[in-house]
Structure 1
Amino acid sequence: MVGTLPIPIKFELPEGWQAGDPDELGSPDSAFAAIHPGSWQPGSTANITIDGAYRPDPATLTDIADESVGNIEQVAEPVEVAQRSELGSAEAPGLGQVLKFSAVVDGTARELFQCQIYLSMVDTEDPEQRVVVRLVLTANPEQFRTLMDDFQAFVGSVRAESERDE
């Protein structure tokens, strides 16, 4: 079942990417998923997913990123955090991390990379209402290098949608 985001967002999907059904793409908890058909290789097509949740707890973005590493470790090993850095500003904090891991896809172990971007959005009228949106690029090493610019453009286009945007 496809997930939902607690707040509406808008974004632009880069050229060459195609929206798909998260269930069919193996990401049932995602609110959105897209693939890059031009990157297809046996057992591997690069994809972008979006998910998010209310996070009124005191967990930092680093804590939340560590939770993601733990979740991946349940299905793939070893998981290496190759890079992690804070992004954004005090008003709109973010965190990015690049993970390397091996996962079994169609019975074959495949090396995969994930770039995960966490965006924290706080309701200005009720600071207890914090939403964390996660944007993820998953690809094999070759696809990852080729499509990272697309992913960065995608991340740069993400905005919370206001009623004025409708």
Structure 2
Amino acid sequence: MAGPWDRGAEVAGLCPSVFVTVSALTAFLTMLGNAPPGPAPCTRPGVSFDPHITIDGEFRPDASALAEIADESVQRMREIAESLWVTGRDEIGSVDAPGLTQELALSAVAGGVRRDLVQSQVYLSMLDVDDPSKRSVIRLALTATADQFDSVLEDFREFVCTVRPETRTSA
């Protein structure tokens, strides 16, 4: 039976320099060695840490601003990271399709080794076309070591540009 990790191969062609997963929490916990039982992200032979993209989202019927949702993510990350700094945050998109980017620098033990990591997060708000009070927020995050980050950031940006809601067509 196919699981969420199987989507990685499907989207890897869009972002070849990073491993793509669907479950952000599972991927991050796996990276830290605290994952629940189940599949784990792949690493390339000889590479101690593979940069990866995680994608998650949630139904948010509340009126929370994207900055507040990003703050919630920072608080969750602070619980598991040794140290964490928000190094940048910008609003992106338009009134009809708002978004927010956030960059984090963190230190964490991953695979038994303390690592300095950088995470670039993108939050996209998607409204239901039939009922704008229904909103989903999608989070895409690139995690890489500080040394790897600059070399994979452009691939991540290109990948983010491909994310769009599925649109209905008339029959």
Coarse TM-score class (shorter-chain normalised)? 0.7 to 0.9
> 1:63-122: CA deviations, max 9, x gaps?
000000000001003210000000000000000000000000122211000000000001
More helix by share: 2
Residue matched to 2:131: 126
The question of whether the paired residues in 1 share the 8 Å contact of 2:83 and 2:108 is answered with no
Aligned pair partner of 1:159 in 160, 164, 170: 164
Structure 2 regions of 5+ residues with no counterpart? 6-10
Are 1:136 and 2:137 counterparts?
no
The question of whether the paired residues in 2 share the 8 Å contact of 1:48 and 1:136 is answered with yes
More strand by share: 1
The question of whether the paired residues in 2 share the 8 Å contact of 1:98 and 1:115 is answered with yes
Are 1:95 and 2:100 counterparts?
yes
Q: 1:12 to 1:159 in 2, by over 3 A?
A: farther
Distance 1:112 1:86 in 2: 23
Aligned pair partner of 1:111 in 108, 111, 116: 116
Are 1:41 and 2:42 counterparts?
no
Relative contact order (alpha carbons < 8 A, sep ≥ 6): 1 or 2 greater? 1
Residue matched to 1:15: 16
Distance 1:2 1:159 in 2: 19
TM-score, normalised on structure 1? 0.79
TM-score, normalised on structure 2? 0.77
The question of whether the paired residues in 1 share the 8 Å contact of 2:92 and 2:98 is answered with yes
Structure 1 regions of 5+ residues with no counterpart? 4-9
Q: 1:147 to 1:62 in 2, by over 3 A?
A: same
Identity fraction in percent: 40
For the aligned residue pairs, the C-alpha RMSD in angstroms reads 3.1
Distance 1:14 1:135 in 2: 13
